[in-house]
């Protein structure tokens, strides 16, 4: 029996993809956890940027939202939101955008707006925020997602953040010059887009995960790489770092005091 959870594996697998050279636009939730684990372990010089305008932030606990004071207090600099988007993001100064999703299709298109019909939705979600601009203006996009058929769907209900559209060269035909989604990390596997079709393909299964488990939690027919690998399990340092971060966050947000 593994001594780590699927969520811990997903977070650590995502953190491993980052380096000290990256300038990363961080989404709240799982992306924030992954980016800060990277900063606290193998990528101490990574530059983390949040949508509220904080640059080079190094939070001791995970923020509840982009407006969390922890981000501004630990940032190298804080700029206005218009400057963040127009100068930093749209100016091509951010290498990686790290996003989550409510719905995702095989080409990395993201829905965080509504489930169901837009005018009469089953669920109205928080919306895109800055994600649509992140998806089009960052050098490339990483996505984290817990696998479920309701989340990984054949066709998303609303295009919030454009991935690879209909696949192939759709981004280029629309004049979008950035790479788009180049990596998907779930609680079961690591996926990368096919170089030609841009459909996500499973490249690595996490420890104890089978092909059947991946297919059962995905709403489209999954493609697996011919040279399918197994994701290395978390190291002691990675797990301890993530768990300590989560515990500090829990104490801070519950009114307690972090050690």
Active site residues: 51
Query: DSSP secondary-structure letter at 34?
Result: H
User: What is the gyration radius of the CA atoms in the chain, in angstroms?
Assistant: 18
Q: How far is CA 234 from the centre of its chain?
A: 18
Tally the residues of the chain: 259
* Inter-residue contact 220 to 105 (CB < 8 Å): yes
Strand partners, 157: none
Greatest distance between any 2 Cα atoms in the chain: 52
CA distance 84 to 179: 20
Q: Which two tokens stand for residue 133?
A: 């601009």
């Amino acid at each position: 029996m593994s001594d780590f959870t699927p969520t811990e594996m997903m977070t650590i697998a995502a953190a491993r993809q980052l380096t000290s050279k990256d300038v990363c636009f961080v989404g709240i939730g799982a992306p924030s956890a992954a980016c800060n684990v990277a900063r606290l372990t193998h990528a101490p010089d990574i530059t983390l940027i949040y949508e509220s305008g904080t640059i080079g932030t190094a939070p001791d606990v995970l923020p509840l939202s982009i407006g969390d004071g922890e981000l501004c207090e630990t940032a190298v600099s804080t700029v206005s939101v218009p400057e963040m988007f127009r100068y930093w993001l749209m100016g091509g100064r951010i290498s990686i955008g790290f996003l989550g999703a409510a719905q995702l299709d095989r080409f990395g298109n993201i829905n965080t707006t509504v489930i169901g019909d837009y005018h009469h939705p089953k669920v109205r979600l928080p919306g895109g925020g800055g994600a649509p601009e992140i998806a089009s203006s960052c050098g490339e996009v990483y996505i984290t997602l817990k696998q479920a058929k309701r989340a990984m769907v054949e066709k998303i209900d609303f295009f919030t953040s454009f991935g690879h559209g209909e696949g192939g060269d759709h981004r280029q035909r629309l004049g979008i010059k950035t790479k788009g989604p180049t990596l998907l990390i779930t609680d079961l596997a690591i996926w990368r887009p096919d170089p030609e079709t841009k459909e996500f393909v499973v490249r690595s299964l996490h420890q104890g995960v089978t092909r059947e488990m991946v297919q059962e939690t995905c709403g489209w027919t999954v493609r697996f790489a011919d040279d399918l690998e197994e994701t290395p399990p978390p190291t002691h340092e990675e797990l301890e770092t993530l768990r300590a971060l989560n515990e500090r966050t829990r104490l801070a947000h519950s009114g307690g005091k972090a050690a």
